[in-house]
Amino acid sequence: MTQHIARRRSCRGVNRASRNGFRRSATPAARPVGDEPGPGPDGDRRRLPARRAAAALTDHRTRTGIARVRRTNPAFRSWSPRSEDTSLSATPPGRYTSAAIATAVLRLISQGAFGLTPSTVTAVPILDTASTTKQQHLFSRRTNSLLGVRVAGCGSFVPEQVVTNADLQTRFGFDPEWIRQRTGILERRHAPPEMATSDMCIEAARRALRSANVDPQDIDLLVCGTFTPDFQCPSTACLIQDRLSLDCAAFDLAAACAGFMYAMVTAAQYVATGNARAALVVGGDCMSRIINPADQRTYPLFGDGAGAVVLTAGDPHQGLLCYQMGADGSGGPLLDRMAGGTRSPLTHAGLDAGDQFLRMDGRSVFKWAVRLVTDTIDLMLESSGLTVQDVSLFALHQANIRIIDAAMEQLGIPPEKVYSNVHRYGNTSGGSIPLVLDEALREGRIERGDTLLMCGFGAGLAWGTSLFRW
């Protein structure tokens, strides 16, 4: 009985420590449950008998089994997406180790020392049994292609009000040069109170339609990538469709800073398969409405803006030479906005706590983004058989110039191949990539037949990357 209680208390302690996943603990540790002394949930040290032949691993959120460690002498390495810190521990022969850690936070590297048998109960696996300690890729290596689509025209819009770093010095008291050095941002645009996300998207869409010289009545699909909609419903896409007098299907895609890439790939599938003559793809966000004006960690980073492209049928060699969409929901707490959904309806208490504002673990997001951008660009080049020299322009999400510079340096990409406007607009989320495309096109940086690499990444965590033949 004493042994049973000790084991139960130990498991309860691990669950309690990991209830909030990696938000509370940067490096979850595996807890020994053999007869080797180990810390109990209350700080005491207990001897827990190794009575079972294998230790079960459990998903603490669903209470379902995941896998069993069946052999001896395993080496455990835990990895946290919040800090990318790692820890390595091993148990002596004959000992067993169990853990209840938030899904996808713990990765176990066995070096061939043990095997895993999945549970028959449905659960999300969190174990990696690779036989090497080499750093794992963040995502699947599977890619796709979608040809026969071209960008017929681009458009963009930003509000007139400019908020400079000097303006923020008055608000927060720090040196404007400090912001530039850490982010590359010199200024950003903020929408006036009467302007909403749909207003910016509509103007960008009008300019894209004029650029493409496409009759609005030929638009068969409108997809809007935004996570700052005017309302919960109707969708922002429906508001745009009405204002532009379009006769087409319209819907939103909420993928934050990756929203435009998700929207573009989705719309391209309709055009490439002949289910739409032309598609209007819009990306835009009014970030100034969801950032805390008293938070110096997020307020300087974001701005408002929107962009749009018109997709039509193209030659067989045009379109998405290679693309991948991906997500890692385990990193959701790194960048979130909690209030307003069914899980956390907006209340007076929530407003007082600032739940309506965007929250971000900037350091962890930075580390993840650099690694993600580097890996996903490498994947695009590897899958397509192209090299850096074959790419005419890199149009990346404009989150932070240090993210872009770090990834480009690791990949050996020369600065002249990278377009950046983050210094003028900050992070416009869904509007970021279409703003880059429109400005680069108008400046003569993009010509028909060029190969572009686009990469969007952000909250979710979600990302979308493509090699596009213009």
Contacts of 8 (CB under 8 A, 6+ apart): none
d(CA 82, CA 417): 31
Q: Which of 201, 248, 257, 322 is catalytic?
A: 257
d(CA 143, CA 161): 41
Bridge-based pairing state of the strands 219-225 and 278-286: parallel
Q: Which of 165, 397, 421, 455 is catalytic?
A: 397
d(CA 32, CA 97): 5
> For this structure, is 397 an active site residue?
yes
Bridge-based pairing state of the strands 144-147 and 319-327: antiparallel
Question: 432 near 399, Cβ under 8 Å?
Answer: yes
Biggest CA pair distance of the chain: 79
| Cα of 426 vs its chain's centroid, Å | 17
> For this structure, is 257 an active site residue?
yes
Instruction: Report the chain's terminal Cα–Cα distance, integer Å.
Output: 70
Helix (H) or strand (E) holding 380: helix 362-384
d(CA 248, CA 98): 54
How many C-beta neighbours within 10 Å does residue 393 have? 23
d(CA 424, CA 303): 9
Question: 118 near 34, Cβ under 8 Å?
Answer: no
d(CA 303, CA 318): 32
d(CA 302, CA 450): 30
Question: 135 near 299, Cβ under 8 Å?
Answer: no
How many C-beta neighbours within 10 Å does residue 247 have? 10
> For this structure, is 423 an active site residue?
no
Q: Which residue intervals of 98-196 are DSSP H helices?
A: 165-172, 176-183
The first and second tokens of residue 238, run together, are 């429906």
Q: What sign results for the dihedral spanned by CA atoms 384, 388, 393, 394?
A: positive
d(CA 395, CA 433): 6
d(CA 272, CA 329): 30
**Catalytic (active-site) positions:** 257, 397, 427
